[in-house]
Amino acid sequence: MANQPIDAYAASLPPDKRESVYQSTKGTHEKRTKLLWDHFLDPNELRQTAGRIKQHVIENLDTLLPAAEAKLQANGVQVHWAPTAEDACAAVHGIMDARGATKLVKSKTMVSEEIELTPYLEKRGMEALETDLGEFIIQIDHDHPSHIVRPIIHKNRREIATSFEREGLGDYNDEPEVITRRARDFLRQKYLQADVGLTGGNFISAESGRLVLVTNEGNSRFCLAAPKVHIALVGIEKLVPRDRDLGLLLNLLGRSATAQQLTVYTEFITGPKSPTQPDGPEEMHVIFVDNGRTEVLASQCREILRCIRCGACLNVCPIYRQASGHAYRSVYPGPVGAVLSPLLAGKQFPELADLPKASSLCGACNEVCPVDIPIPDLLLRLRDKGKTEGAPKASIGVPPMGGWALMASQPTAWKAALAGGKVINHIPTKLIPFPPLQSWTSSRTLPEWRGGSFRKWMKNRPSK
Amino acid sequence: MISDRQLPAADRRVQLMATCLCDAFYDDVARATVEVLEHLGCIVEFPEAQTCCGQPAFNGGDWKASRKVVRHTVKTFTGDVPVIVPSGSCAAMVFHGAPLEFEKEDDAPAVDALARRTWELADFIVNGLGVKTWPGKFDAKIAFHRSCHSRGSGTSEAAISLLESIDGVTVAPFGEAEQCCGFGGTFSVSFPHISANMGTLKLDNVRAVEPDYLVSADMSCLMHMGGLAEKAGAPLKTRHFAQILRDALNPATAG
């Protein structure tokens, strides 16, 4: 019997890669947990409150989005609506085209990965350069991020040093300080030459129109310092109702994502530069990206839109720790990705229908989620969807359940099976034509079959 | 999760849901459960028509097949006394999983009613009956595995506090306790590689504290971890916590 694709991928992962992903996610998870419990009396209460705020957002997008748009416009921001990935890319391209811009510097944004912005712009003769160190390394390696927050969690410093040498950024040197300095020297020039700075958006307040960005390297500030145009790509679910909600969400985001009390840079951006300010973008654009989110909202799994992209569920997930991010064949890996990616795939759902199977349903993801998304319940709903829609990928290696259900709903058949099962004590499992049994016994022994023994004891003992 | 759970009545009548694993492999765990409940003055009924809680198909993604089995279970456990399950996982299937897959079904109220009166054994003893300590004697260092489907319920804390109250028992905490053992039902056979790696990591953490027994509220986790340890040539003694409670009462016959 074939294994699930993610299991096969994990089996092919070199042990040193798995070990570095494991140690790094474990370390962050443990620090995250300690920090939350050291600082707060009851972090779970906070997670639940944050979950209610974000649930309120996704259930009131019809009023919060127009409110945010009005505030943004009043702040001098141009607002664009992108129903699809193609629309979002075209909007960026259109803004650049209108100003004769050809060079764009990017701060880290998962939405730009999702809409595949860089290849879109490159095809049209424009340059889009990643300035987050991890994303920069991904870009020069023509690779893909394997973690939402730490895109190069799958790489070690020797590989990075080799890439830098290949790209002419200096002789081989794998000292992290040297790597960072070389990247900085290279990128500084690029900020100065760029026409446009592109960022994502962690939150937008519907109350004030403030765009909130959190980063740790300061590159987003450089992206906004020199270029004359700032474009922010923001998923439509990224709103908060009021500025005061940010206090809670930012406290949870930094701790959940990187075990920091607060990220090093937290920027609140209220629009383009005012006439009295010496520096900053003259134009600011917010592109609200739907790209399937409305369908997710209409599905049975809308809670996934609460996600604030902290990556805590990846770090704690035993499957992610074994398989790493590329196993999920999509922009969003790990437990959140196993829900979000198949949903965002729309008609291509069957292609990713195995992702919701990549979980032991242990619930650790729900336990760490800063917005308390019931991820296991959503995975289960998508498993049902995969089955009812007949997606073949979802059923690879999964024992068929029809015969079992018949037996388990007829007591006579059940008792007969309990008695008959004793045969496995005497026949080598290899000879029993039931592939899940071979899969089980490949690494584990089977206990002795004692079918019906308890019933016999219960029936025959002296009455109390 | 069901919040308004039905508390036991004064006569302490209960129904036992033995679970399919105990029915097929672990008869002594079901026996221990009966003996522990009877020690507490419960009158234990065993509805003969019971089979399985429906979880394999629920987790496997075949909700249609699962609902068939859940309907049989609902029909089997009639009445209004608490239903006691010596498994955090099967109990969670009844009080959380089944209501989830019946959200849009006409017979959801019957499923919810069963959910409200279903308890995992340790949770029932400590939080249902209010029993906080356990008598007897049992000399052992125990590593207690918090099974994942007990998250968010009272099970693990209840089981650990009962075990710790037994004369002679030490419960040794081990590393990465929040991590799953890798069983996960059908996951264990459709993701055999990851499942085995998870189990090995768990066993390494458990062995590091050199316990006499690996104990849990779920035989499924123990079947997986015990099976892995045995196949690797380094067997580990595994016990359901009900067996420890029962054996503490009868130190002479304990194994």
CA distances from B251 to A395, A464, B211 (A): 48, 22, 19
Which tens digit of pLDDT belongs to each residue from B213-223? 999 999 999 99
Give dist(CA A20, CA A13) in Å, integer.
11
Smallest CA–CA distance, residue B69 to chain A, in Å, is: 5
Q: Determine the residue of chain B that is closest to A450 in CA distance.
A: B25
Nearest to B114 by CA among B90, B80, B72: B80
Smallest CA–CA distance, residue B170 to chain A, in Å, is: 25
- Can you point out the beta strands (E) in B164-212? 167-171
pLDDT (0 to 100) of residue B1: 46
pLDDT (0 to 100) of residue B255: 56
Torsions phi, psi for B35 (to 5 deg): -65, -35
Q: Determine the residue of chain B that is closest to A384 in CA distance.
A: B61
- As to burial, measured by CB atoms within 10 angstroms (0-12 exposed, 13-18 middle, 19+ buried), residue A170 is middle
CA distances from A135 to A178, A217, A233, A264, A454 (A): 17, 12, 16, 18, 59
pLDDT (0 to 100) of residue A427: 86
Nearest to A388 by CA among B188, B193, B104, B194: B104
pLDDT (0 to 100) of residue A434: 84
Which tens digit of pLDDT belongs to each residue from B126-145? 999 999 999 999 999 999 99
Which tens digit of pLDDT belongs to each residue from B86-99? 999 999 999 999 99
pLDDT (0 to 100) of residue A1: 55
Give dist(CA B253, CA A317) in Å, integer.
42
Interface probe with A: pick from B1, B3, B12, B23, most Cβ of A within 10 Å: B23
Q: Answer whether A360 sits within 8 Å of B148, measured CB to CB.
A: yes
Strands A265-269 and A211-215: antiparallel
Residues of chain A predicted below pLDDT 70: 1, 463-464
Alpha-carbon Rg for chain B, nearest whole angstrom, is 18
Q: Which residues of A touch B53 (CB under 8 A)?
A: none
User: How is residue A226 written in tokens?
Assistant: 């020199």
Smallest CA–CA distance, residue B63 to chain A, in Å, is: 6
pLDDT (0 to 100) of residue A435: 85
pLDDT (0 to 100) of residue B3: 57
CA distances from B233 to A430, A444, A445 (A): 20, 10, 10
Q: Tens digit of pLDDT per residue, chain B (255 long)? A: 455 788 888 889 999 999 999 999 999 999 999 999 999 999 999 999 999 999 999 999 999 999 999 999 999 999 999 999 999 999 999 999 999 999 999 999 999 999 999 999 999 999 999 999 999 999 999 999 999 999 989 999 999 999 999 999 999 999 999 999 999 999 999 999 999 999 999 999 999 999 999 999 999 999 999 999 999 999 999 999 999 999 999 877 665
Torsions phi, psi for B5 (to 5 deg): -80, 150
ipTM beyond 0.90?
yes
